[in-house]
Amino acid sequence: MAKVKQFDKATCREVGDAIEQALKSVAVKYGINIRKGNGRFSPDTLDLKIHCARVQGGKVLSKEASDFKRLASLYGLKPSDLGRTFTAGNGTYKITGLNTKAHKYPINATKVTTGAGFKFPEKRVKLLLDK
């Protein structure tokens, strides 16, 4: 790509992807996971979030997972519930973390069959885990 004349959606995506790719050697050097987050842009600037997390036992220790372990009891759950599965509707879901800013649906989970992310209210998750 030629020099950036102005930032637009496509240019931001391309630059962000290049930055993420360039950071892979840093991630390997320090044994961490690095991923690009959301960003904002104007014609002259691009601000990107970069998320870094430790890796332990081959698993990325995300902020959501750490928050779950630390704050689970405030939501009527146990830290050991992280990674547990439950059935809701027509699928099985695995608890992956806690979003403390989400008041209605703070429990993050992934659908076991697809890996797609979902959010659940803590009371429903507690009820489904107790079944």
pLDDT per residue as tens digits for the range 3-17: 999 999 999 999 999
pLDDT, tens digit, 9 for 90 and up, residues 89-130: 889 999 999 999 999 999 999 999 998 999 999 999 999 998
Q: Is 123 in the same domain as 92?
A: yes
Domain boundary among 57, 76, 94: 57
SS3 109: strand
pLDDT of residue 40: 96
Is the pLDDT at 1 greater than 70? The verdict is no
Confidence at 131, pLDDT banded by 50, 70, 90: confident
Domain boundary (57, 72, 90) is at 57
Please tell me whether residues 71 and 117 are part of one structural domain: yes
| Interatomic CA distance for residues 54 and 69, integer angstroms | 15
- CA atoms of 116 and 93, how far apart (whole Å): 9
- 124 and 83 in one domain? yes
Radius of gyration of the chain (CA): 18
pLDDT, residue 59, reads 79
pLDDT digits (tens, 9 = 90+) for 54-83: 988 887 888 999 999 999 999 999 999 999
Distance between CA atoms of residues 63 and 121, nearest Å: 19
Is the pTM here over 0.75, yes or no? no
Q: Which of 40, 57, 74 delimits the end of a domain?
A: 57
More confident site: 51 or 60:
51
Q: How many domains does the chain have?
A: 2
The whole-number average pLDDT for the span 14-24 is: 94
Q: Which two tokens stand for residue 24?
A: 């892979």
**Residue 123: per-residue pLDDT:** 95
In a domain, 2, yes or no: no
Shared domain check, 123 and 79: yes
Domain range for 31 is 9-57
51 and 76 both lie in a single domain: no
